[in-house]
Amino acid sequence: MRIRIVDAFTDRPFAGNPAGVLLLDAFPDDGLLQRVALEVNHAETAFAHRLPEGGDADWALRWFTPVTEVALCGHATLATAHVLHTTGAHEGPVRFATRGGVLVATPDAADGSITLDFPTAPLTPAEAPAGLAEALGTEPRAVLDTGPDVGDLLVEVADEKTVRALAPDHKALAAHSTRGVIATARAEDPARGYDFVSRCFFPNVGIDEDPVTGSAHTALAPYWSERLGRATLTGLQASPRSGLVRVEARGDRTLLTGHAVTVIEGDLLTW
């Protein structure tokens, strides 16, 4: 069984968000998928298999963190689409059947990027839970719930420097949302090539800090689009690995565009 490690939302190796990708003939037992994801030990491992022609989707796709299956994942979807196109397993736009609905990934032959068509997260203003400021390490300017599929609190903080300096209490953060917390602020200098910054902390799915999170940008895109007055923006996720996500807010859909690089390819010897 071939297994690949792909760095997503980056055009260079050892940056962005790494994901394991396995193309299968069918999904085996869930326990086996979970054990493989734990062995890979990246934020997500993606498992995909081809579907019969003539249906609503081309491939079935599931994502597992080292501890649980998740309902939506952007970077592992981008990584899977990258593997399909670079190996010749699929040409052109690919439709994935997932727990989050049918997701479409469209390659751009001109620049090598891939655009994901994802559902926009429904944002609902929320009161800051007691203890959130202490757990995060700063006072929130605004707090929003991102809905059941994303499962985070979106928290705007004072400025980009505050986002970059965060050193949260991950155990304490786990009490405040289903998956975790997205911390964000407007870019200090848009001339650097991005409009907003974020960091994502997901202790409830075994990921203290996710390097670059596509699903979080389905909440960040509408949030910053409204505030900055533009539908098309670029977000920098300012984790130690860092990565850029181009976003376009289209009402109930959000487009996420990025690059990916395969860094490891080998055989899974036990299956």
Question: Which of 104, 17, 101 shows the shortest CA–CA distance to 58?
Answer: 104
Q: Measured between alpha carbons, how far is 90 from 166 in angstroms, rounded to an integer?
A: 41
Task: Indicate the SS3 state at residue 157.
Answer: coil
For residue 16, give both structure tokens.
Answer: 């962005």
**Which residue, chain included where needed, has tokens 């994942």?**
73
Catalytic positions, written as ranges: 44
Q: Measured between alpha carbons, how far is 78 from 102 in angstroms, rounded to an integer?
A: 14
Q: Measured between alpha carbons, how far is 39 from 144 in angstroms, rounded to an integer?
A: 34
How far from 84 is each of 4, 21, 59, 166, CA to CA, in Å? 11, 10, 10, 37
